[in-house]
Amino acid sequence: MGKPELKSPRHKNPLVKSRPLVKSRAACVRSSANVKVVVRVRPPNPKEQGDNSRDVVKVVDEQVLIFDPKFNPQSFFYHGVEQKGRDFLRKANKDLQFMFDKVFGFESTNEQIFEDTTKSLIKCLMDGYNCSVFAYGATGAGKTHTMIGQTENPGITYLTMAELFKTKETLQDERNFELGISYIEVYNELVQDLLNPGAPLQLRDDGRYGVMVSGIKIHKIENPNDLFTLLAKGNSNRTQHPTDANAESSRSHAVFQVYIQMEMKATREVRAAKLSMIDLAGSERGSVTGYGGARFAEGANINKSLLALGNCINSLADGQKYIPYRDSKLTRLLKDSLGGNCQTVMVANVSPSSLSYDDTYNTLKYATRAKKIKSDVKKNVVNVELHVGEYVKIVEELKKELEKVRNQLKEKVSEKKVDPKLSAQLTKMIEDRRKLLDKMHNVEGSEKIVILRR
Ligand SMILES: Nc1ncnc2c1ncn2[C@@H]1O[C@H](COP(=O)(O)OP(=O)(O)OP(=O)(O)O)[C@@H](O)[C@H]1O
């Protein structure tokens, strides 16, 4: 791995360092945002291309899909066993057209999902909002393919992180960054560190980042390639067992989290944000996993936590005050990823086949409920109180920087080397620094100066 691993003290995040002279207190800027819900329909697999299957999902346009109203079998065969007919569609015909923020068909790529879902979260993170994206769907519906993907076709976790690093590069002149990640799984109601497997871990509330895992190791990363190594290691520790529905079925909920701390160089303001990317275990029927034994018990636990998640989604969608987050480990962990301080994206994955008829219908209903959630988003901004000494230091640093930029510009002009784009950039930098200096000189106060953002 090559990178030092930081052991987090029980009640302290290693990325949050205390600064001498700078007192900080959390402030928040609130706004309300809907959960963005998209649906991805994966291509049929070889089994689903057989005689016993037909497509029951039709993507109509970028936002609408129809859960095929013509498909209403009295009975059909699955694995040679006759399945009972379903008549609920007749009662619910009006529900069969579904509208989401975006619908992706067979031909969609991970790159497109990323462009339309998580790419825009990077700006929110940079502004200090927590963000979260989770993949929901039945086993084999394509959640892991979407979230993790393969090395040659990376999923949205990698693509989002690569974008985060790109953005970090462009902002490095004005901000000091610290990035750390953790990767955990919730399996049979136990929380495990996928990067350092050991005893199960407990959850706790953290004043800065929201719900955190006690004693989790947070790994510092410097570039997206570090991430590949860590993700691969974590995935190899993930609980997977073959079910009839998917040879590499992930039996646990996997939660990948990125902690970002940014210090604005000019104002010393500190922003903290957390990105959570969650690959949920599949919600499956006993008939698909095969009844009996440990797999069935696992399925029951998965369904229990997904049921708890469904209850939270329903309560949030109804605007209720009490949300039963504490009903399962998964919902406790997702507390601030669903209704709380978070911009949330849900990717609902479905199979197109009649063989997954009930699962697809349930997923679409689940996703429709999630659309109604309004989260109360807060900006994790830390207002910085600077003592006079610190303030004077910043002014001096800014003056020096301003002088340096001015001289650079003069040199280029005298050498006649300056191109118009560079000249415009430097002039803008000078202007920005001058404005900032003016603003700082106008701040009043004797003992200490409080610099408030915007
Ligand atoms: N959009 C897609 N295009 C091509 N293949 C896909 C797509 N989505 C899924 N698959 C393939 O279908 C199979 C099942 O997908 P995946 O493992 O992602 O399902 P899952 O929802 O994560 O299942 P589980 O909950 O059991 O882990 C995999 O072999 C995967 O490569």
- pLDDT tens for each residue of 370-395: 887 765 555 555 544 555 555 566 66
29 vs 180, residue with greater confidence: 180
Whole-number Å distance, alpha carbon 368 to ligand 1 midpoint, is 22
Q: How far apart are CA 11 and CA 72, in angstroms?
A: 55
First to last CA, the chain: 41
Whole-number Å distance, alpha carbon 381 to ligand 1 midpoint, is 38
Q: Which residue has the tokens 């993790």?
A: 148
Name the H helices within 318-419. Answer: 329-333, 335-338, 357-370, 388-414
Whole-number Å distance, alpha carbon 264 to ligand 1 midpoint, is 41
448 is in an annotated binding site: no
User: Which of ligand 1's atoms lies nearest the C-alpha of 245?
Assistant: 26
Which residue is closest in CA terms to ligand 1's atom 31? 145
139 is in an annotated binding site: yes
Q: How far apart are CA 196 and CA 115, in angstroms?
A: 32
Q: How far apart are CA 414 and CA 98, in angstroms?
A: 65
Identify the sign of the CA torsion 409, 410, 411, 416.
Answer: positive
305-358 pLDDT tens trace: 888 888 888 888 788 888 898 888 888 887 876 765 668 899 999 999 988 888
Residue 65: phi, psi to the nearest 5?
Answer: -135, 155
If pLDDT is split at 50, 70 and 90, which confidence band does 90 have? very low
137 is in an annotated binding site: yes
Whole-number Å distance, alpha carbon 148 to ligand 1 midpoint, is 10
Mutate which of 144, 239, 303, 359 for ligand 1? The one with the most ligand atoms within 8 Å of its CB, which is: 144
215 is in an annotated binding site: no
- Supply the ipTM of this predicted assembly: 0.98
Q: How far apart, in Å, are the Cα atoms of 409 and each of 29, 111, 402?
A: 38, 41, 11
280 vs 287, residue with greater confidence: 280
Q: What is the helix (H) or strand (E) element at residue 68, kind and residue range?
A: none
Q: Dihedral angle at the C-alpha atoms of 123, 220, 169, 172, nearest 10 degrees?
A: 90
425-436 pLDDT tens trace: 777 777 777 666
407 vs 106, residue with greater confidence: 106
If pLDDT is split at 50, 70 and 90, which confidence band does 195 have? very high
Whole-number Å distance, alpha carbon 349 to ligand 1 midpoint, is 9
Rg of the Cα trace of the chain?
25
* pLDDT value of position 9: 34
Secondary structure E strands in 188-298: 190-193, 203-206, 210-213, 217-220, 253-264, 270-279
Q: How far apart are CA 380 and CA 25, in angstroms?
A: 10
Percentage above 90 pLDDT, the chain: 22
Mutate which of 41, 42, 57, 347 for ligand 1? The one with the most ligand atoms within 8 Å of its CB, which is: 42
Whether 163 shows a pLDDT value over 80: the answer reads: yes
Whether 445 shows a pLDDT value over 80: the answer reads: no
348 is in an annotated binding site: no
- Range of weakest confidence among 183-187, 207-211, 278-282: 207-211
Tokens of 64: 């609408």
* pLDDT value of position 30: 41
143 is in an annotated binding site: yes
Name the H helices within 341-387. Answer: 357-370
* pLDDT value of position 70: 60
Contacts by residues 243-246 (CB-CB < 8 Å, ≥ 24 positions apart): 243/139, 243/284, 243/288, 243/289, 243/290, 243/295, 244/79, 244/288, 244/289, 244/290, 245/138, 245/139, 245/140, 245/282, 245/284, 245/288, 245/289, 246/139, 246/140, 246/282
Whole-number Å distance, alpha carbon 143 to ligand 1 midpoint, is 6
Neighbours of 232 (CB within 10 A): 11
Q: How far apart are CA 248 and CA 284, in angstroms?
A: 14
Mutate which of 246, 295, 303, 355 for ligand 1? The one with the most ligand atoms within 8 Å of its CB, which is: 246
Whether 261 shows a pLDDT value over 70: the answer reads: yes
User: Which of ligand 1's atoms lies nearest the C-alpha of 45?
Assistant: 12
Please report, as a single letter, which amino acid is at residue 15. Answer: L
Task: Answer for the pair 351, 138: CB distance below 8 angstroms, yes or no.
Answer: yes
Residues flanking ligand 1, CB < 6 Å? 42-43, 45, 137, 139-145, 246, 248-250, 281-282, 349
Whole-number Å distance, alpha carbon 140 to ligand 1 midpoint, is 5
Neighbouring residues of 148: CB distance < 8 A, sequence distance ≥ 6: 154, 155, 157, 158, 231, 235, 279
Whole-number Å distance, alpha carbon 38 to ligand 1 midpoint, is 17
Angle formed at CA 112 by CA 108 and CA 118, multiple of 5 degrees:
130
140 is in an annotated binding site: yes
Q: Which residue has the tokens 């063989």?
A: 355
